[in-house]
Amino acid sequence: MSIQIRNLNKRFGATVVCDNLNLDIPSGELVALLGPSGSGKTSLLRIIAGLERPDSGSVLFHGADTTHDDVRDRNVGFVFQHYALFAHMSIFENVAFGLRVRPKATRPSEAKIREKVMDLLKLVQLDWIADRFPHQLSGGQRQRIALARALAVEPKVLLLDEPFGALDAKVRKELRRWLRRLHDEVHVTSVFVTHDQDEAMEVADRVVVMNKGRIEQDGTPDEVYDRPATPFVLQFLGDVNLFHGRFGHAPGGSVEPGDVSYVRPHELEILAAPQDGALPVTLSQALTVGPQTRIEFKRVDDGSYVDVEMPRSEYNALRDRLNLVTGSQVHLLPRRVTRFAAGQNPVVEQVDPAALI
């Protein structure tokens, strides 16, 4: 079931939460709505679900306008961050619930319900706890059951709102991989809301980056990361250093007022000697966390800070080779620069590695 969003507008008082949104979600895709708190992700999801009415615009399911359909007629499945399971029902009964409440005419037989529920519990790898009650499960297990329950009614669309938001970092990581594998098996068109860029990049086929009720960019994880359409997208998808004007081996042309160059910390080379396009800096501090070292440098020209990141072993070798200590002067040369010229589309400048030797 594909989803089309057309000229969708929604505001709460003075707050615009959907600002003329247009979006196409192909059938069977797993799409992440990614953005900071208050960017309108949940509102868009609730409008797709039919839990909220837009002020104008439409939501189409496979070309059919559902904007005014009741939530019960849309056949969507939900998983919310705090969508608690029914505490007084066993896990089996929680998953069976959506099938049992169907009108008699469409309700499956008891044998069919049992078969379906056990299949779903196997799918979420929790068939061994069918007889337990929700309070006997961990948070991660409860969310897997919530997902099995949502899938029981064979929804045309699955909507997930920060499904792993309440779980600790390690369980979150496990569950997002698990969700990806699950989606590869069931292929139901799924939209999930997250403010965590790693989660979006790792799980989704496509990432929709939202900001202030607008879609800043919509693309595959690689597209939004490698070719960010706006400075907002670039900054939201990871740490980045900002340089006013041009930086690096930019091909000719004059610097326009408002030109801004961005370089990610792992895209900077540390050189002992000055080189054309390199920036003189002094070493301020180096911090190692796990396998990565983050080195903070201070610019000689204006005293502002620039971050560089590299594998710990690489940094240790470089430090020994160049005798780096706090205050040492070196030069930073970008391997890759994303430049946003004032009022124009972004330009990505990839530096020829040969130029770095």
Ligand X SMILES: Nc1ncnc2c1ncn2[C@@H]1O[C@H](COP(=O)(O)OP(=O)(O)OP(=O)(O)O)[C@@H](O)[C@H]1O
User: What residues make contact with ligand X under the rule CB under 6 A?
Assistant: 12, 15, 17, 35, 37-43, 195
- H or E element that contains 113: helix 110-123
Question: Can you tell me the distance from the alpha carbon of 341 to that of 257, in angstroms, rounded to the nearest whole number?
Answer: 8
Nearer to ligand X, 120 or 209 (CB): 209
- The dihedral over CA atoms of 23, 3, 140, 92, expressed in degrees to the nearest 10, equals 170
| SS3 state of residue 278 | coil
- C-beta of 10: minimal distance to ligand X in Å? 9
- C-beta of 53: minimal distance to ligand X in Å? 11
The Cα-based distances of 345 to 125, 236, 313 in angstroms read 47, 18, 37
Q: Where are the alpha helices (DSSP H) in 213-253?
A: 221-226, 231-236
Question: Can you tell me the distance from the alpha carbon of 251 to that of 246, in angstroms, rounded to the nearest whole number?
Answer: 10
Which stretches does DSSP call E strand in 84-236? 157-161, 189-194, 206-211, 214-219
- Classify burial at 212, counting beta carbons within 10 Å of its beta carbon; exposed 0-12, middle 13-18, buried 19 or more: middle
Nearer to ligand X, 40 or 50 (CB): 40
Nearer to ligand X, 42 or 94 (CB): 42
- C-beta of 225: minimal distance to ligand X in Å? 20
- C-beta of 115: minimal distance to ligand X in Å? 37
156 and 168 in contact (C-beta within 8 Å)?
no
- C-beta of 230: minimal distance to ligand X in Å? 17
- C-beta of 164: minimal distance to ligand X in Å? 13
